Homo-oligomer: A and B are copies of this chain.
């Protein structure tokens, strides 16, 4: 079956490759950091000012984001510039896009239901 082939492909190779990204994305603070860095690359100190935790805790989050290839760090003198790596989100996006085929089905059904409801209300 085609579905089994797809399943193998995603559950074996892709499942492992995505782990770093999905792990990094599971924490709300880390997602907040990604949002921040999407506006501007920043030093650790800069990032820390936006959160109510210590700089050391922020550093740990940045390490995990870097491990997941969601950011990159560049030395500049004694500072370290943290930069968003949007391409790192690709593995997670790809994995989720596999399900598009299913929620496209659901969505069309839902859309129909919404339209029916609107017609009843009017």
By a beta-carbon cutoff of 8 Å, the part of chain A in contact with chain B is: 3-4, 7, 10-11, 15-16, 18-19, 22-23, 25-26, 28, 31-32, 34-36, 38-39, 84, 86-87, 89-90, 92-99, 101-103, 105-107, 110, 114, 118, 122
Contact = CB atoms under 8 A, between A and B. Distances in A.
A103 B70 CA distance: 11
B102 A4 contact: no
A4 B38 CA distance: 10
A99 B87 CA distance: 9
Contacts of A10: 35
A118 B34 CA distance: 26
A3 B84 CA distance: 15
